[in-house]
Amino acid sequence: MSNIALITGITGQDGSYLAEFLLEKGYQVHGCFRRSSTNAFERIEHLTDKIELHCTDLLDQASLERLIAKIKPTEVYNLAAQSFVGSSWDQPILTGEVTGLGVTRLLEAIRMVDTSIRFYQASSSEMFGKVHETPQRETTPFHPRSPYGVAKAYGHWMTVNYRESYDMYACGGILFNHESPRRGLEFVTRKISDAVARIKLGLATEVRLGNLDARRDWGFAGDYVEAMWLMLQQDKPIDYVIGTGETYRVGDFVQIAFDRVGLNWEKHVVIDPKFYRPAEVDLLLADPMKAQEELNWKPKMSFQELVETMVDHDLQRLSALANTSLKVLRKSA
Ligand code: NAP
Ligand code: F7E
């Protein structure tokens, strides 16, 4: 029997890398998109003839149940979420509905159709929040610091609960921050790489940022989707922490990004209180030993490589855009 995967959030950063990864493995890949999608299909444009897309929403229970009954997936990856921590204070109820209750809707849909379907939940290091120990591991207690973190903790525990209540193969990957050239522009890493490229090309002079002292364990998204898949290929469903085991300041990311294009960051970065959060997560650092030992998973891309890859990508993308606009302007002159 061929493997059939359903990916919610396929239009997002991780969804696009996971779809590529599963296609390579020979899976039949289905993905969910929202009719009101913000990014449309720009991250999966190159895959649309290889995957099947279905219009559904984590807010709509019936649409999920119908879809699962129709395509009969062997694995479901729940990557859909209101995933931006900053917005979760502006929209705490929507965040709870999508990022929290959305998990239960999907688990219920699976339970109604076929409890042998394997389920991956995109849990998050944001659940550790005001950390109780460093580094953070699978046994570290949760203390979320945002409506997003609280919603993820709820979704994580519902996943554990369905595993324990109904004997379902359901597990949560507690993933630390992972980035790429496909990262949304609102997240700090991509905001920086995009701004650095704009400044280098003379399209902007400054970038406004918040807390440069926050520390994160940043990896490359392309490496992390392999860990999601590995978690669903084991004998037993187990939750794992996935990260690099290294932590850096937002300021370190800034420094490497500006260095890459030969500019002095201090001349271009403006600290703006608007980007400070009501409650901050000061320090995240993963202990990924369990995943390394039991899944044989290791991140491949270093922090320096990640920053440079993102800056190079934005430089190339914006140069191409600027050249196209210049050509159009010259033609119409
Ligand atoms: P992302 O790029 O923001 O993608 C989020 C996806 O969720 C998008 O496809 C979005 O669709 C979809 N979505 C939003 N609301 C929805 C709804 N009501 N119904 C159905 N789909 C909806 O996020 P990502 O970085 O790929 O992250 C993937 C998952 O991992 C998320 O659950 C995130 O919270 C979690 N996570 C991420 C990280 C990280 O560092 N990246 C770390 C830990 C956990 P549209 O295109 O329509 O907006
Ligand atoms: O912020 C600081 C900010 O928005 C990182 C999501 O994928 O990872 C992500 O959540 C840090 C924070 O990501 C700006 O205060 C400073 O300390 O890039 P971020 P996040 O909040 O860590 C986790 C694991 C997830 O699960 C989430 O889905 O950077 N910061 N200045 C800023 N952040 C932003 N966005 N913008 C700034 O100007």
The answer, yes or no, to whether any atom of ligand 2 lies below 6 A from the CB of 82, is no
Predicted structure pTM score: 0.97
Angle at the Cα of 315 from the Cα atoms of 309 and 316, rounded to 5 degrees: 90
Is 118's pLDDT higher than 70? yes
Measure the CA–CA gap between 278 and 88, rounded to whole angstroms. Answer: 11
Q: Which atom of ligand 1 is nearest to the CA of 184?
A: 2
Q: Which atom of ligand 2 is nearest to the CA of 208?
A: 38
Measure the CA–CA gap between 34 and 196, rounded to whole angstroms. Answer: 32
Is 113's pLDDT higher than 80? yes
3 state DSSP class of 128: coil
Measure the CA–CA gap between 212 and 18, rounded to whole angstroms. Answer: 31
8 A C-beta contact, residue 37 and residue 16: no
pLDDT digits (tens, 9 = 90+) for 144-195: 999 999 999 999 999 999 999 999 999 999 999 999 999 999 999 999 999 9
Contacts 24+ apart (CB under 8 A), 155-158: 155/99, 155/100, 155/102, 155/103, 155/104, 155/121, 155/123, 156/121, 156/123, 156/127, 156/239, 158/103, 158/104, 158/107
User: Domains in the chain and their CATH numbers?
Assistant: 4-180+218-242 (3.40.50.720), 188-215+247-283+303-324 (3.90.25.10)
Phi, psi of 231 (to 5 degrees): -65, -25
Residue of the nearest CA to atom 47 in ligand 1?
A: 37
pLDDT at residue 35 in the model: 85
Q: Which amino acid is at 110?
A: I
Residue of the nearest CA to atom 9 in ligand 2?
A: 177
Q: Name the pLDDT band for 38 (thresholds 50, 70, 90).
A: low
8 A C-beta contact, residue 218 and residue 192: no
Is 325's pLDDT higher than 90? no
Q: Name the pLDDT band for 1 (thresholds 50, 70, 90).
A: low
Q: Which atom of ligand 2 is nearest to the CA of 214?
A: 17
pLDDT digits (tens, 9 = 90+) for 191-212: 999 999 999 999 999 999 999 9
8 A C-beta contact, residue 117 and residue 110: yes
Catalytic residue ranges: 124, 126, 148
Measure the CA–CA gap between 53 and 30, rounded to whole angstroms. Answer: 6
The answer, yes or no, to whether any atom of ligand 2 lies below 6 A from the CB of 314, is no
Mean of pLDDT over the chain: 96
Q: Name the pLDDT band for 282 (thresholds 50, 70, 90).
A: very high
